Each structure stands twice: as structure tokens, then as C-alpha cells.
Amino acid sequence: MSNLPIPRPGVLSIDAYVPGKSAAPGATRAFKLSANETPLGPSPRAIVAARDILEESALYPEGSSRNLREAIGAQFNLDPARIIAGAGSDEVLELLALAYIGPQDEGVYSQYGFLEYKIVTLSAGGRPVVAPEKNYSADVDSLLSCVNEKTKLVFLANPNNPTGSYLPEEEVRRLAASLPKQTILVIDAAYAEYVTRTDYSAGINIVDEYTNVVMTRTFSKIYGLAGLRLGWGYGPSAIIETLNRIRPPFNISSIASAAGIAALADAEHIQKAIEHNTRWLPWLTNEISALGLEVLPSVANFIAIRFPSTPGLTAVDADQFLTKKGLILRAIGTYGMPDFLRLTVGGQEANHAVVSALKEFMQKGKNSFKNE
Ligand SMILES: *Cc1c(COP(=O)(O)O)cnc(C)c1O
């Protein structure tokens, strides 16, 4: 018998979340394209607001992030009482799991869905259930076939990370309409702002039609505030009130709140980020496809690139090659996609550097294969 304190059953079977690499040792300059951060940085207004409020750091923030919730409410035309702020949307996901999933309960998510769903389900003591995907996209029928009386949460990243695929509003609606009333549908719309498809909805209108649908959003992606940890959820009053019972008081720092409020108000900055992505996402997709690599169609600010299994041309080889050049992509073997690397849309210089490095990589790989 070990004489160390023993955690709850299940905790030691959780693999801790491993973030993407953030450094390229030895490279003279590096571009971090591994965490879907924005190349445009935060709104200058958010930086000013964060600096200004530092003076007030001796004071606790307002406990429920009221000012932030009111600003979000005004921006999206929502009732602030039905909004909950989280230290990243990760915290909202965690609160949902802690509040609704107990031992024997199940959390369902799709095969290549965001890994955090598995982690929060396990940390709540529940059982993660994986619904197979078709063509690297969530499948409503597949998700529904995993649902039973033990299913408390169904997580859907829309668009999904790391595949970049999305479900049209009609399909999300079909999912919501088909779930038992006891099962909560969690629509994680972390990349909503980037999506330009007309058949897409972030989920606000769907939340409003059901008593069991919640949407989560984040300030980490298009708003460029990942370092401040800020996200939010919108849902039916009964669910938001439940989450507030277990939410740590003062979970949002006054700095994050102030920056978030200022970022929301900077429509110009958001517009710039959307335009940047709308220009470079298809450019990267086309250029990289033209090298003979498969790129999964994406509506977000990243793409998943599939590498051949040919020795010298694999995703592992590509990862090493690119890292040496200071181009840091995300290996997604932990998502069950070992043949892929995920690339975040970067600034112009980084995007060009990735394409020329991949061109060189494919050439070198093909030549070395020929010579064998
Ligand atoms: C990045 C990301 C989030 C955001 O997480 P935060 O905790 O808000 O930083 C949520 N869901 C998905 C699918 C993501 O890729």
C-alpha cells in the first residue's frame, strides 16, 4: 500500500491537457502557430483598460462580473442574468460538468472533438463517451445514438478544434430537438466570430428555444486575450443559476473584466481580424493543397494538414523540420490524428514562411525517398 494521499477514483486515469509547443529552440526567430491565437494581438483599447485598472488591484472585483455580463448582454442583446463569466470558457465547461455529471453519468462528444470535454467529464467523476465522426466532422445521428438516460452533457464544438469543421444551424437544431430534456447540449462556439458561412449560427437563437441548451464563448481567440483567461456561457436561467452556486467567487480578475469590456467595444479590431482570416485561410488552404498535402476544409482560424505515411514525409518529420525553422505547429496525435499537424493562420510573414518551408519539406522528402 502506498502511504501517499489517494485521489478520488478516476482522477489518476486523466491524462493532463498538453498544450502545443510554444518555443523552437535554436531557431533565430519563431512563429507560434500552435494555439489558434490571433496574429493581430489584443485590441489596443483592451490594453489601455487593463493597465488603467491595475491601480485598483487592492480591491476585490465585483463577484459576479456584473459589468462584463452587462457589456456582453448589450453587445449580443442578451439578458445579463443568463450569462456566466468564466476564467476562460474552459472554466464554464468545467462548472457544467461538476454541476451535472456525477459517478455513473456520461458526457458525450464527437471523435475528434476538443479534448477538454473528456478531461472535464472525467474530473467530475463521469464516463466519457465518444461518438464516431464522418469525414472529420461531428455527426448528429452518431451523437444521438450515444445518448441514454445517463447522458448529462453532449458537447459540440462548433466549429470544431482541431478539424475546423462545423455543423450548419439546421443540424444543431436537429440535435437540440432530439435530445431528452434531461440532457444538456453544450455548444462551444469558441471560433464563432471567424465563421462567414450563412448557414452557421453560434447558437444564441437555439439556446433561446430550449431549456437544455447552453452556449460557451471565449475572449481567447478573435479577441486576443488568451493570456487573461476570459470566457462566458449563455443559457436558460435554471442552468446559469445552478452554475453560479459552484462558481468560485471572484473567478474573473478585474483586469480581465476591464480588458474584455474594452475588447467587445472595439468593433474595428474584430473586423480587421475577420478580414485577415478571410483572406489568409483560403490562401493557406490552396497553397498547401497545391503541394500535394490534404487540408481539411476549415471555417475557423486554423487548418489541419494531413501528411503522407511515407518515411521522410510524415507529420512527425514535418513537425521537426518546421520547428527547426522556427515554425511551431500543433501535433494532434493526442486527438487520434497522428498524421496531421494543425496550423493557426498567422500574420503575412508567418504564412509565407510556412508555405515555403512546406514546399522545401515536400521536395526534400520526395528526393530522399527516390534515392533509397
Ligand atoms: C480555444 C478553445 C476554447 C477556449 O478556451 P478558453 O478557456 O476560453 O481559452 C474553447 N473551446 C475550443 C474548442 C477551443 O479550441
Q: Is the CB of 39 under 6 A from ligand 1?
A: no
Q: How far is the CA of 157 from the centre of ligand 1 (A)?
A: 9
Mutation choice for ligand 1 from 116, 118, 158, 330, CB with most ligand atoms inside 8 A = 116
Residue corresponding to grid cell 475572449: 219
Ligand 1 atom closest to Cα of residue 162: 15
State the pLDDT at residue 157.
98
> How many whole angstroms from 1 Cα to the centroid of ligand 1?
39
Residue nearest (by alpha carbon) to ligand 1 atom 3? 190
Distance 309 CA to ligand 1 centre (A): 30
Mutational pocket test of ligand 1: of 90, 109, 230, the residue with most ligand atoms within 8 Å of the beta carbon: 90
pLDDT of residue 1: 62
**CA 36 to ligand 1 centroid distance, Å:** 9
Question: Which residue owns the Cα nearest ligand 1 atom 14?
Answer: 190
Secondary structure of the chain in the HEC alphabet? CCCCCCCCCCHHHCCCCCCCCCCCCCCCCCEECCCCCCCCCCCHHHHHHHHHHHHHCCCCCCCCCHHHHHHHHHHHCCCHHHEEEECCHHHHHHHHHHHHCCCCCEEEEECCCCCHHHHHHHHCCCEEEEECCECCECCHHHHHHCCCCCEEEEEEECCCCCCCCCCCHHHHHHHHHHCCCCCEEEEECCCHHHCCCCCCCCCHHHHCCCCCEEEEEECCCCCCCHHHCCEEEECCHHHHHHHHHHCCCCCCCHHHHHHHHHHHHCHHHHHHHHHHHHHHHHHHHHHHHHCCCEECCCCCCEEEEECCCCCCCCHHHHHHHHHHCCEECEECHHHCCCCEEEEECCCHHHHHHHHHHHHHHHHHHHHHHHHC
- Find out whether the beta carbon of 234 lies less than 6 Å from any atom of ligand 1: no
Q: How far apart are CA 335 and CA 344, in angstroms?
A: 16
The reported pLDDT for the residue numbered 333 is 96
Q: Is the CB of 88 under 6 A from ligand 1?
A: yes
Question: 35: Cβ below 6 Å to ligand 1?
Answer: no
Nearest residue (by CA) to ligand 1, atom 12, is 190
Q: Domain spanning 11-41+268-371: which CATH class is it, in words?
A: alpha beta
Tell me if 114 CB under 6 Å of ligand 1.
Answer: yes
Interatomic CA distance for residues 177 and 173, integer angstroms:
6
* 115 alpha carbon – ligand 1 mean position (Å): 10
In the chain, CATH 3.90.1150.10 sits at: 11-41+268-371
For the chain (372 residues), the mean pLDDT of every run of 10, in chain order, is 82 83 83 98 98 97 97 98 98 98 96 96 95 97 98 98 98 98 98 98 98 98 98 98 97 98 98 98 98 98 97 97 97 97 98 98 80 53
For residue 178, with 0-12 CB atoms within 10 Å meaning exposed, 13-18 middle and 19 or more buried, which class applies?
middle
Residue 309: phi and psi, rounded to 5, are -90, -5
Identify which of 34, 72, 89, 118 to mutate to test ligand 1's pocket (most ligand atoms within 8 A of the CB). 89
220 lines ligand 1 (CB under 6 A): yes
User: What is the whole-number distance in angstroms between the Cα of residue 103 and the centre of ligand 1?
Assistant: 25
pLDDT at 369: 61
Residue 218 near ligand 1, beta carbon < 6 Å: yes
Ligand 1 nearest atom to the CA of residue 221, by list position: 1
Return the pLDDT at 23.
79
CATH 3.40.640.10 is held by the domain 44-266 = yes
- The ranges of the chain annotated as CATH 3.40.640.10 are 44-266
Expressed in angstroms and rounded, the spacing between residue 78 Cα and the centre of ligand 1 is 21
CB under 8 Å to 1, separation ≥6 — which residues? none
Distance (Å) from CA 312 to ligand 1 centroid: 33
Closest residue (by CA) to atom 10 of ligand 1?
190
